[in-house]
Structure 1
């Protein structure tokens, strides 16, 4: 990049004397800068015109001129970064910042968060890790799931107030009396992010591509075929009724991208840039629902800021503080809640672990001080006694005398709190004569895991977004965990049970039947919840529309920044967010 090259050349001029005046020839400067004498004369002239240095040449070949420096490379870099930020040249900023990780924190702080830039409301999010690619289907991270929901739309979506599916790309739908035909009527005013009109045939093509994914094929196993029954109608023909179908289509994993351009969607924001260092969203001018007030959202991937204990935006992935470090004590909590998602333990019964032993393990976890004394941050987790409200755990008696196996194996994946949980459980079971081998699967889910086959216990995190009951049905149907937890007959019976409950048209009946499925899993000591997270967002005054959603984020379409007053035009607003 041009700015980066100019800064590097200036540093080469500066270094030999550390900024003291130099008496040097043009030839020596050209050798130092790896360029021709003609180019170095141009470089000196431009730098002098910019006010960086003075160059007093002497006539005659080989004569030494005097070079004086007026600014340091550090101050020049900071000026360049500030000018690039003001102009919206994000990649220039990141390139310049690579030369100065120590200054990156101080340099970026004033520009993070919400501010009006060139009369455009912009939200900059300093984030603690690179974002995973937004591939079709299921995504492991909450941030990626949330991002997919901002970029892509589905035929249906979940209403933010009642969590039930409603129209999105489809204005509405009809269901035949036997539940085997679903007609989705596509809006006629849809546009892709690239400006092209959405054709129903493109949505049809993308749906067929999704159904070819193994995980989504399980999700839509009841779909026999999808037809274009009218230029504005997609028809699903089913093998058996599936009254979760509108829910399945509303889930982020079923959102539809352009069939030839997988990062082009129809959601409220289009993806303008996706790199390991910077992700930039820009509002979609032809969005088919209410347009967002924010015009730009940027994720600045700056792990070094968090390594330096910056304390600005993301002290923990589930607790977001919007503000500068010096403002943290004055921030007010704007939204909070207990996650419906939970960390869980599953237990595989067999020759090494019988029913009573599994129940004793569950009883140890929930009726000792094990969960209450986990050494994790205060107000981060809360022990759970239910999968969902009213889906409470069973109570057993007479387990104290049950002898545990001599050896067991525990496999677990992220989040990091499960590291602590695994170690605590290992130490506790050792006091009871049970040797626990623990194996860490370094991922956010069980995809491509080769360690499940030999595990007796498995711990993980079940993210829940909208429609929690449906999300749990989807978990049982699609997750690679369950064929390893249950033997073949039990797993087949579980899938048949899910097929039977999905044919019930009444939502309340489906919920009751699903609650019974999970009650049986808990009573058999196959599954138990461990703890929930405390989601929390804190912000300074002036950041509006921040409302915690089911994934622990907030909808970018609802956030807004007050325009600067006339006397404050051009001044930065308080720092904000993730």
Structure 2
């Protein structure tokens, strides 16, 4: 990058005297800048024309001239970044910010948070890791799940606080009396992000690609086929009723991309840049619902800010700060909540751990100080007392006379708090004469895990989406954990029970059926929640419309920035 090279050369000139005037020869300057004398004269001329310095040469070879500086490298870097951002060159701005963490924090500060950049309201979020590619189907990361919902649309969607699906690409839908035909009436004003009109046949093609994914095939197992019964109507034909169908289509995993261009969607924001160091979303001007007030959102991927301590601009992946990364205390907390999602422990149904032993182990977790003394950041987690509100954990007697097995094996995956939980559990079980072997599956899901056969216990993280009950139904249907956790007859019975629940027309009846399933799993010591997270979002003054959603993020289409004062 030419600008970065010019900045680096200027810094080499400036650094020996820290900006004080210098008496120096052209040859010495050329050696300092690792270039020829002819080239250094060109650098001096260009820098002088730009107003960065003054060079007063003395006639005669080897004579010392006077070098006077008018700007500092830091101010020049800031100016260059501002110019790059004004021209829409975000990559150039990030490349200019090649500094160690302390200097980088100070440099990025003016550019993060809410900014009107070149008359465009832009929200910049510093983020601690590169984002995985966005695509239809299940994604492990909360940030990726959230972004899919901002970039792609589904036939239905969850709207605000409502746990019932609403129309999205489909304006509305009708269900036949027997529940076997679902007609989704497609809006006539839909456009892809590339400006092309959305055709109903394209939506059908995208759905068929979605159903070809194994996990999504399990989710939509009741669907026989999808027909275009009218240019503005998609009809789902089912072999058995599934009154969760509109919920399934509203889930982030069912958002639809262009069938021939998988990064093109029809949501409120389009993907303008998706690179390891920068993700930029821009407003979709032809969006079919209410238009966002923000024109752009940028994720500046700056892992060096977080490598030593997540206590800067992102205290933790569930505690997001928009804006100044240097001092979280300077930001205002705009929204917080306790996640409905939870970290959990499951206990395999095998001969190595009886039901009473499993209950005893769960009692150790919930009836001792184990969860309350985890060495984690304050206000990060809350020990769980229920699976969902009203779905309480069973209360068993102490069972102190029940001896645990001498040896047990635990496997677990991310998040990082489960490292701490695993070590704490290991110590507590050792006091009971039980040696716990701990195996870490380095991933955010169970996909690709090869340790199931060895495991007696499994720990993981269950994110809850917009419709809590339905999200747990989806978990039982699609997660690779359950066939390894339950015996084959138990798993078949579970799936048959889920089929019976989905056939209930009444939403209340379906939720009651799900609660019974999970109550049975908890009472039989198959599953217990461990803790919930405390979601937090902090932002500088002037960033408005931010409210936490169930994924610990906020709807980008609702955020807004006041116009700059004249």
Cα–Cα, structure 1 residues 17 and 383, in superposed 2: closer, same or farther, change >3 Å?
closer
Cα–Cα, structure 1 residues 189 and 305, in superposed 2: closer, same or farther, change >3 Å?
same
For each residue in 1:27-52, what CA deviation from the matched residue of structure 2 results, as whole angstroms up to 9, or x when unmatched? x9499555794x65544332220123
Residues in 2 aligned to 1:387 and 1:124: alpha-carbon distance in whole angstroms: 35
Cα–Cα, structure 1 residues 423 and 484, in superposed 2: closer, same or farther, change >3 Å?
same
Name the SS for the 1:510 alignment partner: helix
Residues in 1 aligned to 2:184 and 2:78: alpha-carbon distance in whole angstroms: 54
Instruction: State which drifts further: 83-92 or 279-288.
Output: 83-92
Residues in 2 aligned to 1:420 and 1:127: alpha-carbon distance in whole angstroms: 24
1:61-76 correspondence to structure 2 within 5 Å? 66=65, 68-70=67-69, 71-76=71-76
Match of 1:48 in 2: 48
Name the SS for the 2:259 alignment partner: coil
Whether the 8 Å contact between 1:55 and 1:65 is mirrored in structure 2 is no
For each residue in 1:405-441, what CA deviation from the matched residue of structure 2 results, as whole angstroms up to 9, or x when unmatched? 0100001111121111111110011011100001111
Match of 2:124 in 1: 124
Whether the 8 Å contact between 2:411 and 2:439 is mirrored in structure 1 is yes
Residues in 2 aligned to 1:451 and 1:69: alpha-carbon distance in whole angstroms: 66
Shift of 1:203: 1.1
Match of 1:316 in 2: 316
1:435-454 correspondence to structure 2 within 5 Å? 435-454=435-454
1:191-202 correspondence to structure 2 within 5 Å? 191-202=191-202
Whether the 8 Å contact between 2:26 and 2:40 is mirrored in structure 1 is no
Residues in 1 aligned to 2:228 and 2:444: alpha-carbon distance in whole angstroms: 37
Residues in 1 aligned to 2:12 and 2:541: alpha-carbon distance in whole angstroms: 45
Match of 1:23 among 25, 28, 51: 25
Match of 2:184 in 1: 184
Residues in 2 aligned to 1:66 and 1:438: alpha-carbon distance in whole angstroms: 69
Match of 2:206 in 1: 206
For each residue in 1:351-388, what CA deviation from the matched residue of structure 2 results, as whole angstroms up to 9, or x when unmatched? 21111111111111111121122222222211112111
Structure 1 runs not aligned, ≥5 long:
567-578
1:137-536 correspondence to structure 2 within 5 Å? 137-307=137-307, 309=309, 311-322=311-322, 324=324, 328-329=328-329, 331-397=331-397, 399-536=399-536
Residues in 2 aligned to 1:110 and 1:453: alpha-carbon distance in whole angstroms: 53
Shift of 1:401: 0.7
Residues in 2 aligned to 1:374 and 1:484: alpha-carbon distance in whole angstroms: 29
Cα–Cα, structure 1 residues 266 and 178, in superposed 2: closer, same or farther, change >3 Å?
same
Whether the 8 Å contact between 2:153 and 2:266 is mirrored in structure 1 is yes
Shift of 1:339: 0.8
Corresponding pairs, count: 563
Shift of 1:162: 1.8
Whether the 8 Å contact between 2:313 and 2:328 is mirrored in structure 1 is no
Residues in 2 aligned to 1:322 and 1:63: alpha-carbon distance in whole angstroms: 54
Shift of 1:85: 3.6
Shift of 1:311: 4.5
Match of 1:575 in 2: none
For each residue in 1:301-327, what CA deviation from the matched residue of structure 2 results, as whole angstroms up to 9, or x when unmatched? 112223465855321222234454787
1:91-102 correspondence to structure 2 within 5 Å? 91-98=91-98, 101-102=101-102
Whether the 8 Å contact between 1:150 and 1:267 is mirrored in structure 2 is yes
Instruction: State which drifts further: 127-136 or 255-264.
Output: 127-136
Residues in 1 aligned to 2:101 and 2:82: alpha-carbon distance in whole angstroms: 15
Match of 2:6 in 1: 6
Name the SS for the 1:21 alignment partner: strand
Return the TM-score normalized by structure 1: 0.91
Shift of 1:63: 6.9
Cα–Cα, structure 1 residues 215 and 360, in superposed 2: closer, same or farther, change >3 Å?
same
Whether the 8 Å contact between 1:332 and 1:539 is mirrored in structure 2 is yes
Aligned CA RMSD, in angstroms, stands at 2.5
Residues in 1 aligned to 2:51 and 2:128: alpha-carbon distance in whole angstroms: 37
Residues in 1 aligned to 2:106 and 2:205: alpha-carbon distance in whole angstroms: 48
Residues in 2 aligned to 1:537 and 1:11: alpha-carbon distance in whole angstroms: 38
Whether the 8 Å contact between 1:411 and 1:455 is mirrored in structure 2 is yes
Residues in 1 aligned to 2:362 and 2:309: alpha-carbon distance in whole angstroms: 37
For each residue in 1:514-567, what CA deviation from the matched residue of structure 2 results, as whole angstroms up to 9, or x when unmatched? 11111111111110111111122334443221111111111111111121222x
Name the SS for the 1:557 alignment partner: helix
Name the SS for the 2:454 alignment partner: coil
Residues in 2 aligned to 1:485 and 1:35: alpha-carbon distance in whole angstroms: 70
Name the SS for the 2:177 alignment partner: coil
Residues in 2 aligned to 1:203 and 1:34: alpha-carbon distance in whole angstroms: 59
Whether the 8 Å contact between 1:349 and 1:358 is mirrored in structure 2 is no
Residues in 2 aligned to 1:346 and 1:370: alpha-carbon distance in whole angstroms: 17
Name the SS for the 1:372 alignment partner: helix
Whether the 8 Å contact between 1:105 and 1:310 is mirrored in structure 2 is no
Name the SS for the 1:522 alignment partner: helix
Match of 1:574 in 2: none
Shift of 1:81: 2.5
Cα–Cα, structure 1 residues 523 and 77, in superposed 2: closer, same or farther, change >3 Å?
same
Instruction: State which drifts further: 444-453 or 81-90.
Output: 81-90
Shift of 1:6: 2.1
Shift of 1:22: 2.5
Residues in 1 aligned to 2:176 and 2:488: alpha-carbon distance in whole angstroms: 35
Whether the 8 Å contact between 2:126 and 2:322 is mirrored in structure 1 is no
Shift of 1:266: 0.7
Match of 2:546 in 1: 546
Shift of 1:69: 4.9
Name the SS for the 1:496 alignment partner: helix
For each residue in 1:141-175, what CA deviation from the matched residue of structure 2 results, as whole angstroms up to 9, or x when unmatched? 11111111111110000122321011100111111
Residues in 2 aligned to 1:401 and 1:565: alpha-carbon distance in whole angstroms: 72
Cα–Cα, structure 1 residues 77 and 309, in superposed 2: closer, same or farther, change >3 Å?
same
